[in-house]
Amino acid sequence: MLRVLITDPLSDQGIEQLTQAPDVEVIINTGLSPSELLEAIQDVDALLVRSQTKVSAEVIAAGKNLKAIGRAGVGVDNIDIPAATSNGVVVVNAPDGNTISTAEHTFAMLISMARNIPQGYRSTVQGEWNRKAFVGVELNHKTLGIVGLGRIGTELSKRAKAFNMNVLAFDPYLTEERAQKIGVTKATLDEVITSSDFITVHTPLTKETHHLIDAGAFQRMKDGVRILNCARGGIIHEGALYEAIQSGKVAGAALDVFEVEPPGEHPLLTLPQVTATPHLGASTREAQENVAIDVVAEILHILRDEPFKNAVNLPSIPPELVEKLQPYQILAEKLGHFASQTTHGALDELTITYSGELADWDTSPLTRIVLKGALSHYLSEINYVNAPHLAKERGVRVTEQKVSKAQGFTNLLTITIKTDAHHEHTIAGTLLNGFGPRIVKIDQYSVDLQPTGHQLLIHHHDRPGAIGRVGTILGERNVNIATMQVGRADIGGRAIMMLTVDKEVPKKLLEDLEELEEIQAVTAIDL
Ligand SMILES: NC(=O)c1ccc[n+]([C@@H]2O[C@H](COP(=O)([O-])OP(=O)(O)OC[C@H]3O[C@@H](n4cnc5c(N)ncnc54)[C@H](O)[C@@H]3O)[C@@H](O)[C@H]2O)c1
Ligand SMILES: O=C(O)[C@H](O)COP(=O)(O)O
């Protein structure tokens, strides 16, 4: 009998699918404390959650029989994905089912904020009739800035356009072509920040989006701007938002999510300009039915060894190719990840060239892995299964090439990225017998680099002292250099330094390095 534990409220339709399955025992246990969860997970085959249950590495390790974790919804930031992967646990989500509900909820909050509906309601039920205090603003001809034009951002933009709003959108994957198709104006983050009357965020919470909207961003905004967050707490700096409302810069904020949920007696909730809902974006009958049905179907497929589609963390390689291609998986993902972190602009075209012995095999599983690596920098819900689909949806042209000669290597995997900022970037890697994956080429420079840990790619002018000055600055700030390589196009010309460092390099230090006269650009890469 397969045992499935459900620890967050799930729609009955999804639960019914499970209870009707003859080979499944369903255990519903919501509101567990962390220690109770550790106990409850011990002998189950699958765990089903929403956003409340924190599925930590400890919980995953305690699940001795655990094969799958299902997230009835989109965000998987409450699940330790690397821990699941290293424990061989498949994580699946239900990415599409709550898109419309969340876009509608965001739009409801936008209108009610513009017209002070929550404040007006509160005052009216208290017996007041205060028509002067709640004068609002129209949406007509106002500019809505959307940060993150994925599923929800796109649906929201349609609703805003129906209200005659101008929509500015910033998303690293947004190309001019797609923006035109959707009918929004492609913008930089700074343009969204400085030109919008309303700003709403719809990105996943990642290292990059954490505190994306901070005190500096608020300072640059229009006076009287209104802010929305129906994505994840932590994308907007809550302390900075509080200050910006107090100073009068921000006229209103509508929040469905908080850094810590429930937020308790949060300072923001004491401000009359703030309206809030308790993470209700996906809380409609329809969305809950959709996500529960979708995720339960996926869990049953996994437990019964049937094909499934929404894996967040599982490579899918046909069995006969597994042995041959497995060693290349890490190389493929790291190259994709490296390339995306060192490229500027929205991805337009990605060409993957398989040379040497690789050219003789069916490399399509590796192409998915490269794509996953290249897109995962921005799309936290991407997986090996949906990577090609998401690339296509974002207008990225993907080409595979095969070349039987590998320029001095028995195998070579080369990725060339072109962006809409006319940036072209090539990176190549190989699998060295006994040494594992190596990056061997960055644009025109030959290197020999282990693709792991924290790296710094520095473009500089080949001048005496340049390398020393970089080393001194890093040393002074206690950043230890583990390895360093230098490549140059010609003597005294353009050159690169590739450094592996022992810890993440703070943003300020990157800026200080960029101030050095001989340095052209510094990029931190996390592999
Ligand atoms: N409030 C709720 O109940 C609720 C419901 C559903 C989803 N969500 C949250 O909403 C968010 C968006 O969901 P979705 O389904 O639209 O996801 P999605 O993956 O379709 O879209 C996310 C978009 O963010 C973009 N992005 C990533 N990093 C970025 C950055 N640094 N700057 C700008 N854009 C960036 C991606 O390119 C992508 O297009 C997720 O965090 C999800 O968890 C909240
Ligand atoms: O990421 C999501 O799908 C939403 O935040 C919904 O979360 P919930 O399932 O807890 O409502």
Q: Which whole-number Å values give the CA distances from 527 to 42, 340, 439, 500, in the listed order?
A: 32, 11, 12, 10
State the distance from the centre of ligand 1 to the C-alpha of 359, rounded, in angstroms.
36
State the distance from the centre of ligand 1 to the C-alpha of 202, rounded, in angstroms.
4
**Tokens matching residue 279:** 């993470």
Same domain, 294 and 357: no
98 CB near ligand 2 (under 6 Å): yes
Residues 6+ apart with CB under 8 A from 352: 363, 366, 367, 370, 398, 399, 400, 401, 413, 414, 415
231 CB near ligand 1 (under 6 Å): yes
Instruction: Give the CATH number for residue 9.
Output: 3.40.50.720
Domain assignment of residue 213, yes or no? yes
Same domain, 171 and 159: yes
Same domain, 205 and 116: yes
* Residue identifier of the C-alpha nearest atom 1 of ligand 1: 281
Please indicate whether residue 517 is annotated as part of the active site: no
Domain assignment of residue 281, yes or no? no
Same domain, 460 and 499: yes
233 CB near ligand 1 (under 6 Å): no
201 CB-contact burial (10 Å; exposed 0-12 / middle 13-18 / buried 19+): buried
149 CB near ligand 1 (under 6 Å): yes
Alpha-carbon gap, residue 281 to 106, rounded angstroms:
7
**Tokens matching residue 39:** 């106990």
Domain assignment of residue 282, yes or no? no
Domain assignment of residue 217, yes or no? yes
Which ligand sits closest to the CA of 190? 1
State the distance from the centre of ligand 1 to the C-alpha of 148, rounded, in angstroms.
6
* Residue identifier of the C-alpha nearest atom 38 of ligand 1: 150
Same domain, 253 and 269: yes
Same domain, 379 and 427: yes
256 CB near ligand 1 (under 6 Å): yes
Same domain, 463 and 337: yes
Domain assignment of residue 510, yes or no? yes
Domain assignment of residue 391, yes or no? yes
Please indicate whether residue 232 is annotated as part of the active site: yes
Same domain, 251 and 116: yes
- Ligand 2 atom with least separation from CA of 74: 3
Same domain, 74 and 107: no
Q: What is the DSSP letter of 225?
A: E
Q: Among 221, 252, 276, identify where a domain stops.
A: 276
Identified catalytic residue from 138, 176, 261, 504:
261
75 CB near ligand 2 (under 6 Å): yes
pLDDT tens for the chain, 527 residues: list them. 999 999 999 999 999 999 999 999 999 999 999 999 999 999 999 999 999 999 999 999 999 999 999 999 999 999 998 888 767 788 999 999 999 999 999 999 999 999 999 999 999 999 999 999 999 999 999 999 999 999 999 999 999 999 999 999 999 989 999 999 999 999 999 999 999 999 999 999 988 999 999 999 999 999 999 999 999 999 999 999 999 999 999 999 999 999 999 999 999 999 999 999 999 999 999 999 999 999 999 999 989 877 677 888 765 455 566 677 878 888 999 999 999 899 888 889 999 999 998 998 888 888 988 998 998 877 766 766 567 778 888 889 999 999 988 778 999 999 999 988 888 999 999 998 888 899 999 999 999 999 999 999 999 999 999 999 999 999 999 999 999 999 887 888 899 999 999 999 998 999 999 999 999 999 999 98
Which ligand sits closest to the CA of 288? 2
Identified catalytic residue from 50, 151, 279, 368:
279
Please indicate whether residue 25 is annotated as part of the active site: no
Same domain, 66 and 170: no
* Residue identifier of the C-alpha nearest atom 11 of ligand 2: 282
Which ligand sits closest to the CA of 151? 1
Count of structural domains within the chain: 3
* Residue identifier of the C-alpha nearest atom 7 of ligand 2: 51
Same domain, 356 and 393: yes
Same domain, 60 and 157: no
73 CB near ligand 2 (under 6 Å): yes
Instruction: Output the pTM of the full model.
Output: 0.76
Domain assignment of residue 215, yes or no? yes
282 CB near ligand 2 (under 6 Å): yes
Domain residue limits at 393: 321-526
Partner residues linked to 227 by β-bridges: 199, 253
Interaxial angle between packed helices 99-114 and 117-125, expressed in degrees from 0 to 180 and rounded to the nearest 10: 60
Instruction: Give the CATH number for residue 486.
Output: 3.30.1330.90
Alpha-carbon gap, residue 254 to 287, rounded angstroms:
21
